Structure 1
Amino acid sequence: MTEDDWAEPAWRAVLEQSGARSGARVLDVGCGAGGFVAYCGRRGMVASGIDPDPDMVRLAVDRERDVRSGGVEKLLWDDATFDLTTAFNALQFAEDTDEALAEMVRVTRPGGHLAVANWAERALNDVDAIERALADGPPGPEGDLRLPGGLRGLLEDGGLTEVHEGLVDVPWEFADDESLVTWIVGDGAPEDAVEVLAAVRPYRQKAGGYRLINRFRYAVGRRSPAVGR
């Protein structure tokens, strides 16, 4: 598992549900280092991305990906540019998710698709054990978008039709303690590593290493075709 491909099951589910094929124009909002942009490119799609973190944008651009710096509140493309516009674990961070969704709809062509995906509720994610171990206090509210029907309601309220909501496994697998700690803690405090390893002990495999089952909830909807078409 790498930082570029850990969300691949969710990417695959969205592409299958949207019917995106080679030649499709795709925009990934909050694209990070451009993993999904590259994934689409390998499948013959014309993919672009946007992210507010300049360090992530530099990583993506260094890999010759069409990624621009900016936020979801003002997407740097003309109306009706893309066949598919996506946001993976990103839209929930917008100051106003309804306005952010409207901007994503704006750049999607009539008849095109829009997809949003994020973590499902805590009870469906083994990684919650790590989050609780590293939290300074009790966990905050789940957020409506994590719960069943949340993403569907968001897209329907935003005018999308034919909305499909699904759940997909996004497992995390680590060969040993070192790879898990590096992924989760990075250069963090040593005491964090101790907390993390204690939290994931129930997920250690008999043959060694770790497997945590996590789940993404996703919704894919269609922008209504233009009137008279």
Structure 2
Amino acid sequence: MGEDWSPVAEEWARWWGSFAAPARELIVRATAVGPGSRVLDVGCGSGEFLAELAGRGVRVAGVDPAEGMVHLARRVAPTADVRLADAESLPWGDGEFDVVTAINALQFADDPEAAAAELLRVVGPGGWVAVANWAERAGNQLDAIDAALNDEPGTDGDLRRPGGLEELLADVGADVVDSGLVDVPFEVPDEAALVAAILFGEDPESAPLVVEAARPYRTESGGYRFRNRFRYALARR
């Protein structure tokens, strides 16, 4: 699964590397991450969250299954301990972190429950496990493009539905203390940027489908803005 992302890592980072910033900031506030905190970001992608945390004096580590993403994360956050591994087998010892995050990541794991158990294993007693990912498709305007590009309509996995994240964390023994929805808008300045952000330079014949599906979300300036939501859950060990 990880290597599916390596060929498009640079383009993904350009358009999506900071997309989840509202969810990240919510987690930082809720878990009181600050100077000296030990934080692991699972599914760290191109490393923007790691760099942000390092700039706040946080002791950061990251892991991703895609070699291309790990390369970018190490470049963006040179002081972070970034490793190549799957979420189901984290290369750290028990209780090494104060906060472990997984943002738009657990749904890509072959075994999300095993991955969630690993997140809990590497956080210390009283520490936080914080997860977030796309909410159900009905609450995400970007799904209009996904629907246009696929013959079969997309379905909501368990982690996108109400209660899904909370159930996953509770099943592995975490104490869920908060959950909810956070807005994660996506905006691009023009049609060319829209097509690049969706197709990553691949499948150019699908560009007209992308543009047509996005028509309702075109702004007066000629750009596009989509309202979307992530679900999040915060738990303690």
Q: TM-score, normalized by length of structure 2?
A: 0.90
Aligned position for 1:101 = 116
**1:125–1:214: 8 Å Cα contact kept in structure 2?**
yes
> Is the aligned partner of 1:8 residue 2:21?
yes
| 1:60 and 2:66 correspond | no
Match of 2:188 among 161, 165, 174: 174
Cα distance, 1:139 vs structure 2: 2.5
Unaligned runs of 5+ in 2: 1-13
Asked if 1:156 corresponds to 2:176, the answer is no
Aligned partners of 1:175, 1:209: CA distance in 2, in Å? 4
Is 1:124 the equivalent of 2:139?
yes
Matched residues in 1 for 2:191 and 2:152: separation?
26
**Is the contact between residue 169 and residue 176 of structure 2 (CA under 8 Å) also seen in structure 1?**
no
Going from structure 1 to structure 2, the CA distance change for 1:142 and 1:108 (only over 3 Å counts) comes to: same
Structure 1 segments, 4+ long, off by >3 Å, are: none
- For residues 47 and 217 of structure 1, what CA distance do their matches in structure 2 show? 24
Match of 1:188 in 2: 202
1:66 CA drift (Å): 2.2
**Stretch moving more, 185-194 or 117-126:** 185-194
**Which 5+ residue runs of structure 1 have no aligned equivalent?**
224-229
Deviation at 1:130, TM superposition (A): 0.8
Please say if residues 99 and 123 of structure 2, whose CA atoms lie closer than 8 Å, have aligned partners that are also in contact.
Answer: yes
- The letter for the 2-side match of 1:150 is G
**1:39-58 counterparts in 2 under 5 A?**
39-58=52-71
Matched, 1:114 2:145: no
The separation in 2 between residues aligned to 1:159 and 1:26, in whole angstroms, is 20
1:156–1:163 CA contact under 8 A, matched in 2: no
SS at match of 1:11: helix
Superposed displacement of residue 144, structure 1: 1.2
Is the aligned partner of 1:18 residue 2:18?
no
Letter in 2 for 1:59: L
Counterpart position of 2:148: 133
Query: Percent identity over the alignment?
Result: 50
Is the alpha carbon distance of 1:205 and 1:140 closer, same or farther for their aligned partners in structure 2, counting shifts above 3 Å? closer
Q: What is the CA–CA distance in structure 2 between the aligned matches of 1:81 and 1:144, rounded to whole Å? A: 29
For 1:165 and 1:25, locate their aligned partners in 2 and report how far apart those are by CA, in whole Å: 22
SS of equivalent residue, structure 1 residue 141: coil
SS at match of 1:200: helix
- Deviation of 1:141 after TM superposition, in Å, equals 2.9
Give the residue type in structure 1 aligned to 2:66.
Answer: D
Provide the rounded CA distance (Å) in 1 between the counterparts of 2:108 and 2:153: 17
SS at match of 1:80: coil
Q: CA RMSD in A?
A: 1.3
Partners of 1:122 and 1:183 lie apart in 2 by 19
User: In structure 1, what is the Cα distance between the partners aligned to 2:43 and 2:68?
Assistant: 13
Number of positions where the alignment pairs a residue of Structure 1 with one of Structure 2: 222
User: CA–CA distance in 1 between the matches of 2:123 and 2:200?
Assistant: 37
Contact 1:26 1:46 (8 Å CA) reproduced: yes
